[in-house]
Amino acid sequence: MPPTLLYDLSKVDFRKIVVSQEGIRAIIPQRFEMEMLTGIVHEDDTEDVIIGVKDVRADEFWVRGHIPGRPLFPGVLMIETAAQLCAYWTMKRRPQMGFIGFAKCDEVRFRAPVIPPAKLFIVVKTIELNNRRAVGKCQGILNGNMVFEATITGMSV
């Protein structure tokens, strides 16, 4: 049985950036090679869902070594991209929490490779949010198909 998507993707205009990379930079501190998010394409406060995009490019730092002649976007960077989106969503709505650091990752499944060039969309649905931590269910979507899923916990640090 195929996995269930966290959100009805028919509600999303994937071509429209609602928060630019500069807007993301105003909230989270990652820069240079570790800046994963390209933009935000959808925010739904009612369902507590955010969707971001990562432009996976052939000139990124990891391409030369992972895997020579057949670059595959590393799973750990998919998870980092999702963690940054979780942190952005939490820090935007709860700035009093300060920086949200990566604390835990559970229920990870990689379902398909991501090969540059590609637009990887990340869907995050917050399932728990309190004054110390945030937990989000995350899915990576490529060409309408789920390529990974995980549950990510972030802590106020």
- Please report, for the domain that includes residue 78, its CATH number: 3.10.129.10
Residues 60-71 have pLDDT tens digits of 999 999 999 999
Residues 4-24 have pLDDT tens digits of 999 999 999 999 999 999 999
Catalytic residues, which ones?
66
Nearest to 94 by CA among 133, 125, 52, 152: 133
> Has residue 103 been placed in a domain?
yes
Q: Residue 139, Cβ neighbours under 10 Å: how many? A: 23
The phi, psi pair for 95, rounded to 5°, reads -60, -25
Mean pLDDT of 125-144: 97
Residues 29-86 have pLDDT tens digits of 999 999 999 999 999 999 999 999 999 999 999 999 999 999 999 999 999 999 999 9
> Has residue 3 been placed in a domain?
no
Total domains present in the chain: 1
Residues with Cβ within 8 Å of 151's Cβ and at least 6 positions away in sequence, in order, are: 105, 106, 107, 127, 135, 136, 137, 138
- Backbone conformation region of residue 96, classed left if phi is above 0, alpha if psi is from -120 to 50, else beta: alpha
Provide the residue range defining the domain that includes 129. Answer: 9-156
> Has residue 147 been placed in a domain?
yes
> Has residue 88 been placed in a domain?
yes
> Has residue 139 been placed in a domain?
yes
Check residue 26 and give its pLDDT: 98
Strands of 118-129's sheet in order across: 39-44, 49-56, 118-129, 133-142, 145-156, 100-110
- Distance between CA atoms of residues 6 and 24, nearest Å: 22
